[in-house]
Structure 1
Amino acid sequence: MPHPCARINPAALAVAMAASLAVGSATAAATDLYYERSLMAEAGARCNLFTPQIQSALVSAREQARGAALRAGGSTHDIRAIADRARDRARSTPCDSRDLGIAAQRVRSSFAGYARLIRQDFPGDVGVWRADRSVNSRRPVWKLSQDARQGALQMRLGIAGRPGAEHLMAVATFPDRVPPYTARIVMRDRRLTTGPYLDTRGASLKSLPLHMRIPRSGPFESYSAESRSPSGADLLPSGMASGWAFRFPAAAAAAIAELDPRESIQVEFLFASGPPQRLFLEVGDFTAARAFLAVRAG
């Protein structure tokens, strides 16, 4: 049976694109919205339908819809199949199609305001990614971040730096211990597993603790920090008087972006003596937030 959105319906797309950009409710409509945004994002890139700002907003909204569809109960296999159908449909539709042109104009109208946003929060079940695409060439700033805390250990992880020199970083404070000699990001090994590890044991996924959203004993992949230094005051989160900054390779951010939004990652700090300290963060809409940052607001 063909997908109900196999034909480009400008009126239906207008309703979908005008809908809230926040994660939708747990209904079948989430997968339809993901299909529609995937179709238009693919068609937009192939046919050059949108400005860079509109295209980045559409890609971000597509990834938000993907997260909503997965949280609504869609399987990874089903979501991938929907993306494939949308891609095939977009590639088989002529760029001068009248219906595509009408749908593209509706997208422009719906996303024009969103494309001009400077800051956006991307909430998950537990954590929130905070994105900021304002330009500040004088000092390093957080472009994307999520905070975590456990006892006296406080940390912020995300994308930080100056324009053109932004990296995945963690800034943390260790008031009760000598600073760690390094840190690493640990996550489910995407190459050796078929999907996320979510140890619900009958509980609601919405309230599932982050330590139960990552495998207990692997298989894992990890990325060690490339550098460690005292953090500058510009990157210290509110309430943190001093801290240490750890810079991670770009491959770590790319790996996080490929994880399921429902799972978590672990940041592990290693000390010369004593056990490591670990903090967990929700993957959430990391990919959508990165897409939001991809093109400066204009």
Structure 2
Amino acid sequence: MDTDQSSLGTLYLVATPIGNLEDMSFRAVRTLKEVSLIAAEDTRHTRKLLQHYEITTPMVSYHQHNEKLRSEELVKALTEGKSIGLVSDAGTPGISDPGEELVRRCLEEDIPVTIVPGANAAVSALVISGLSARSFCFLGFLSPNKTERQEQLDQLRSMKGTAILYEAPHRLQKTLKVLLEELGDITVSLVRELTKIHETVWRGNISRAIMEMENQRPRGEYVVLLQLENDKNAETFWQDWTLEQHMDHYLSQGQTKKEAVKTIAKDRGVPKREIYDIFMK
């Protein structure tokens, strides 16, 4: 499509604070004051930020439930020469938040798109987690679809480095138990309330994390970082153990006997029934 670039508006992807309002950049404030319109994931939430910085630019909602329809409306406004600032509730738009669809549509229409960088929970958590930042992957929230979630977990088993996930507090325990069963008792770092007063970083084995979370009430969205060590030594750490020693290892890590049976079977690549018949009968 041939388009007169000078007649088009620009889409600005504007990162906003993930907690501490002082993390808003000068450029982000100026951009949101100068654009014609702000597209916000939750206008009520963003209004608090705008009021803090005395930004009076009009807003429209742009969230997962109206993303496709609203994208067309915003593209039309951009082709008419209006500039738009896209913001999510926190962090960088498009990272586990709405934005992908609008960016794609803008690029299809040759509409200029630029980034006003700033806070990002995944990268911020990575650099304070104590885990390796040399090689990492970001999966966002695990899929609620069972088949897709299993594909994500299978992908993790074949990787080496640090994997970064997001998780809601009410699902944290369930997710940790799934990760333990699928990946073994690897090192995990749990980061929450980034840049806020109660910012915390916890690190240890997954089994220990499960025990720790049982003694407290998780609050605030978590960033879960996994240390993936899919090399030969990590995969066969148990190779000189008897089955009894293998079982004792996982019991000492806080697993139940039933959970340990599943983990041992996965470690050794044998049918679960084979281990079950030895320990559960």
TM-score, with structure 1 as normaliser: 0.25
| Larger strand fraction of residues | 1
Greater relative CO, 1 or 2 (CA 8 Å, sep 6+) = 1
| Larger helix fraction of residues | 2
Structure whose alpha-carbon radius of gyration is higher: 2
TM-score, with structure 2 as normaliser: 0.26
